[in-house]
């Protein structure tokens, strides 16, 4: 089974990772052979469309590379899934600083975010990911394949209110988005979009999905977002990436209603201070 989790960046990261499971991915960067960094300057891409934020990376994988993988995942360069396959003895011996992260998540498994300020913790997570051996890689793959979608723990508040508070300069786009969404596949098929607006979402454009579901998700959101972009070319910076964060929850709700047997898992994210990733 092939799994790849991409770390989405907009500039060359100081801590590059390129392993069987993880890869640094920089949108808009000229390819550097041998660097271990994936870029989106070839193939079919929207690398220049900065208003799409991390969706540029997702678009590239959808259009060019998805056939290579059974599961694909996306993280933000300073927001990571806590992928933690080591037994406690191995963790204590090899990466003792990460035991604190495990303790914090175990103590509060429903916490949306674990904030981390220490650069050494970020570096240790990268080192741990690079060092995984065959049985540890298999443990991660087995965890991933036990679900169809893994996403960040949702924020349970009115999505529309959250958007208005976070993005007042783009508030006029929300009504337009709802109007388009109400007639778009798959959202119009099972559940009225107004129900979604009163619900929740998994934010940050972070998830790990079975490949066929990823394709379905991309097929569903990009017609909506590209249509809005054509209609509002002067929309605020990064706005389509921000709107897409509010669409993931709706897609998950749709799939739960359509196919109750699908397996979903919500997990905390590790959010690092900017200077901890430098």
pLDDT of residue 136: 97
pLDDT of residue 278: 57
Backbone angles phi, psi at 78, to 5 degrees: -115, 15
pLDDT of residue 276: 58
CA distance 54 to 70: 21
Binning pLDDT at 50, 70 and 90, where does residue 29 land? Answer: very high
- Cβ-in-10-Å burial (0-12, 13-18, 19+) of 102 comes to middle
Binning pLDDT at 50, 70 and 90, where does residue 240 land? Answer: confident
The 10 Å Cβ neighbour count of residue 269 is 23
Binning pLDDT at 50, 70 and 90, where does residue 160 land? Answer: confident
- For the ranges 36-40, 73-77, 158-162, which has the lowest average pLDDT? 158-162
Binning pLDDT at 50, 70 and 90, where does residue 116 land? Answer: confident
Tokens representing residue 121 in the block: 């913790």
Residue of 246, 89, 226, 95 whose CA lies nearest to 166: 246
Binning pLDDT at 50, 70 and 90, where does residue 195 land? Answer: low
pLDDT of residue 150: 96
pLDDT of residue 111: 74
Residue 61 has pLDDT above 90, yes or no: yes
CA distance 122 to 97: 10
**Across residues 167-185, what is the average pLDDT?**
70
Q: Per mean pLDDT, which of 169-173, 216-220, 230-234, 257-261 is the most reliable?
A: 216-220
**Across residues 48-70, what is the average pLDDT?**
93
pLDDT of residue 169: 66
Q: Which helix (H) or strand (E) holds 59?
A: helix 55-60
pLDDT of residue 168: 65
The alpha carbons of the chain give a radius of gyration, in whole angstroms, of 19
């Amino acid at each position: 089974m092939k799994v790849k989790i991409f770390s989405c960046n907009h500039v060359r990261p100081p801590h590059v990772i390129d392993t069987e499971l993880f890869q640094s991915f920089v949108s808009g960067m000229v390819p550097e052979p041998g660097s271990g960094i994936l870029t989106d300057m070839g193939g079919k891409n929207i690398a220049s469309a900065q208003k799409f934020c991390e969706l540029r990376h997702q678009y590239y994988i959808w259009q060019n590379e998805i056939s290579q993988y059974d599961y694909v995942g996306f993280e933000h360069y300073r927001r990571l899934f806590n992928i933690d396959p080591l037994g406690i003895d191995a963790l204590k011996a090899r990466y003792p600083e990460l035991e604190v992260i495990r303790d914090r998540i175990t103590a509060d498994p429903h916490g949306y975010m674990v904030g981390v300020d220490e650069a050494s913790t970020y570096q240790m997570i990268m080192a741990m990911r690079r060092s995984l051996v065959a049985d540890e890689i298999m443990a991660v793959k087995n965890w991933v394949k036990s679900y169809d979608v893994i996403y960040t723990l949702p924020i349970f508040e009115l999505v529309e209110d959250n958007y208005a508070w976070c993005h007042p300069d783009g508030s006029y786009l929300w009504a337009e988005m709802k109007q388009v969404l109400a007639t778009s596949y798959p959202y119009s098929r099972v559940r009225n979009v107004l129900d979604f607006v009163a619900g929740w979402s998994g934010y940050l454009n972070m998830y790990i999905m079975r490949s066929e579901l990823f394709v379905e998700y991309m097929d569903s959101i990009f017609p909506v977002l590209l249509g809005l972009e054509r209609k509002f070319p002067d929309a605020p910076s990064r706005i389509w990436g921000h709107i897409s964060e509010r669409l993931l929850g709706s897609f998950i709700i749709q799939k739960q209603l359509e196919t109750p047997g699908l397996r979903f898992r919500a997990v905390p994210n590790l959010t690092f201070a900017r200077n901890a990733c430098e």
